[in-house]
Each structure stands twice: as C-alpha cells, then as structure tokens.
Amino acid sequence: MTEPIDSAHSSGSPIAPTPEPPYYAVIFTSTRSDGDRGYGQMASRMVQLAREQPGFLGVESARGSDGLGITVSYWQSEEAIARWKAHVDHAQAQALGKRTWYTEYHVRVAKVERAYGHSPGV
Amino acid sequence: MTEPIDSAHSSGSPIAPTPEPPYYAVIFTSTRSDGDRGYGQMASRMVQLAREQPGFLGVESARGSDGLGITVSYWQSEEAIARWKAHVDHAQAQALGKRTWYTEYHVRVAKVERAYGHSPGV
C-alpha cells in the first residue's frame, strides 16, 4: 500500500515550502485497491508532471498503514488547478485511477487563508 | 514512525464524510523525531477530544514510510478552529509537540470551496 511518490523538495524536507497565503490547496484523499498494477509508476509520473505546470507551488503526500492516502498539492490560483485537472495525461491518469487503483477517493479544493509553522532553527 | 491515530468514521471509511462546502480544513503536515515518547497515546487522545468539539466535521490522517505525516481536520467555521486551537488540553499537546515530537511542522488553514469524490456504488 505504499508507493514511491517523491514529495521531497529542494530544501530536503517533505514539507512544501509554500509562499505567504493566499494560495490554493487540492486535498486528495483515497483508499487503494489491492496490488500495484502500474500505480506507483503513474503516481511518480504525475507528481513529476505537476511540478512542470504553471502555478504549481508544491506537493505533500503520505499513505498510512491502514491504506488511507493523503496528497495535498498547492497552487497559485484556481485557474492553475483547472488547467492541471484538464491536462490530457492527467485526465487519463484520473480515469485509470477511478477504474483501477482507488476503491474510494475524495477531492477538496480549498483556499489557504493563513499558515504558520516550526522548522529546525526557526 | 506510524501511530495509531484512529481516523475511521462511522461509515467505516477513513475518508471523512464532510457536508457540502463551504467548510474549513486545517492541514497539519509534520516530520517526527525518533521514538514514540508518548506521542501515539497523545495523538489518539487529541483526535478523540477533537471529535467532541462543537463544529468538528471529521479528520483524515496518514503517515508515510518517509516520516511525513499529514492530518487534515475539517470544521464548520473559523471560530470552531480558533476554539479548538485554544482548548487547554490541546494547547498543552501543541507545546509538547513543538518541544518533543516534531522536527518540523506546518499548519495551513483553508476554506474548502468545492469537493467531489467517488465511492463504491456511487
């Protein structure tokens, strides 16, 4: 149930170095069907492709031992999210995901209004 | 690096059965320090306590094998989030988390504007 989604950023931390709000978050939660069936490879490819899209800010991803996966991608605008959703390769991956890889999923599009954190040395 | 956060809902799915938007999401991403040191027990207690708060809608939580944890809690309003942040037991857990359990964390408060999903049989 784990997959090699590379959510590490150039800072070396898996926490996305997003700018000051406002910006947008796409919260994708899912449960997987059994077996990989090409999922790991496609997930890595989609993260790579997302990174190349205009307006992409970062991504964080985790799948726990109970099978629940949470991937949060961050975007500059709703337009950037709409473009990424409609990207032809991504649309194909979404269709495959619905048919093959996910038993259940939920997508929430949210506007990040404030943020704070704690890093080593801060 | 895994912990027994119980994010299962009465539906049996670990995906939170949230209402129609708008509502709020608190996206908490973190990396853990080594060793449990009371973390698992406190995390379970905080999820239990959050469930009892007015305006709480649901929670989803996952920690991957790379150590990145994502917990998203859902709330009816910003006021509900502010009350939960200030809850005395939760404030104590936050202080302990900063001092003991997390090497790094980031909190993002976001307004969920739209949502869609796919469930078995839907």
B53: domain CATH number is: 3.30.70.100
Alpha-carbon distance of A45 to B77, in angstroms, equals: 36
B122 located within any domain: no
A6 located within any domain: no
B16 located within any domain: no
**Which strands sit side by side in the sheet containing B23-32, from one edge to the other?**
A56-63, A68-75, A23-32, A102-118, B102-118, B23-32, B68-75, B56-63
pLDDT band at A3 (very low <50, low <70, confident <90, very high): very low
Alpha-carbon distance of B29 to B109, in angstroms, equals: 12
B6 located within any domain: no
Q: How many domains does chain A have?
A: 1
Alpha-carbon gap: B94 to the closest alpha carbon of chain A (Å): 11
Residue keyed to tokens 């990207």 = A87
Q: How confident is the model at residue B6, as a pLDDT?
A: 60
Using a CB–CB cutoff of 8 Å, tell me whether A79 touches chain B: no
Residue keyed to tokens 């959050």 = B50
Low-confidence ranges of chain B (pLDDT < 50): 1-4, 122
Contact B13 A7 (CB under 8 A): no
Contact A110 B112 (CB under 8 A): yes
Alpha-carbon distance of B57 to B99, in angstroms, equals: 28
Angle at B15 between CA B10 and CA B19, to 5 degrees: 80
Q: How confident is the model at residue B12, as a pLDDT?
A: 76
Query: Quick one: which H or E segment has residue B98?
Result: none
Q: How confident is the model at residue B118, as a pLDDT?
A: 84
Per-residue pLDDT reduced to its tens digit, A47-92: 999 999 999 999 999 999 888 999 999 999 999 999 999 999 999 9
B14 located within any domain: no
Using a CB–CB cutoff of 8 Å, tell me whether A121 touches chain B: no
Q: How confident is the model at residue B108, as a pLDDT?
A: 98
Q: How confident is the model at residue A9, as a pLDDT?
A: 75
A2 located within any domain: no
Q: How confident is the model at residue A1, as a pLDDT?
A: 41
**Class of residue B6 by CB neighbours under 10 A (exposed 0-12, middle 13-18, buried 19+):** middle
Contact A29 B106 (CB under 8 A): no
B32 located within any domain: yes
Angle at B59 between CA B99 and CA B18, to 5 degrees: 150
Give yes or no for residue A38 having a pLDDT over 80: yes
B27 located within any domain: yes
Range of the domain at A91: 23-112
Alpha-carbon distance of A110 to A24, in angstroms, equals: 6
